[in-house]
């Protein structure tokens, strides 16, 4: 098991990582963050809306499934949003430099951190 800070440090150690956060999607509040380059409080609130919208759409479509992760690809960055399977209402948010990151390895690391994080 890993604490919140240990989990954030593991995410920040990923090649190309700019910043990462753990977010409460009920309130849109940061539980913890690390790194620079993005206003994480604003990003937490905005990405809470992304998660809510996707869940609402899935419900409207009658999809009986859960979100593994949401990937947003920008010109220079990847943004990964991963709701925690073990803690409803919490998600990991990570921003990567597209030129330096290996997306597959980063997604795998986020998945690994999700399994070990404890609150």
Q: pLDDT per residue over 41-54, tens digit each?
A: 999 999 999 999 99
The residue among 105, 92, 98, 86 whose CA lies nearest residue 32 is: 92
Average pLDDT over residues 1-9: 94
Query: pTM value?
Result: 0.95
119 pLDDT band (50/70/90 cuts)? confident
Burial class (CB in 10 A: 0-12, 13-18, 19+), 66: exposed
Q: What is the DSSP string of 5-36?
A: HHHHHHHHTSTTEEEEEEEETTTTEEEEEEES
Question: What span, in angstroms and rounded, lies between the C-alpha atoms of 46 and 88?
Answer: 18
CATH, residue 95: 3.30.450.30
The residue among 78, 68, 72 whose CA lies nearest residue 99 is: 78
Domain encompassing residue 44: 4-116
> How many domains does the chain divide into?
1
Radius of gyration of the chain from its Cα atoms, rounded to whole angstroms: 13
Q: pLDDT per residue over 51-87, tens digit each?
A: 999 999 999 999 999 999 999 999 999 999 999 998 9
Average pLDDT over residues 15-20: 98
């Amino acid at each position: 098991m890993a604490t919140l800070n240990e989990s954030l440090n593991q995410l920040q150690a990923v090649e190309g990582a700019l910043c990462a956060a753990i977010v409460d999607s009920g309130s849109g509040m940061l539980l913890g963050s690390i790194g620079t380059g993005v206003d994480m409080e604003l990003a937490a609130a905005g990405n809470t809306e992304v998660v809510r919208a996707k869940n609402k759409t899935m419900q409207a479509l009658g999809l009986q499934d859960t979100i593994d992760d949401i990937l947003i690809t920008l010109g220079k960055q990847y943004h990964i949003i991963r709701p925690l399977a073990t803690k409803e209402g919490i998600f990991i948010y990570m921003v990567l430099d597209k030129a330096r990151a290996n997306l597959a390895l980063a997604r795998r690391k986020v998945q690994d951190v999700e399994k070990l994080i404890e609150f």
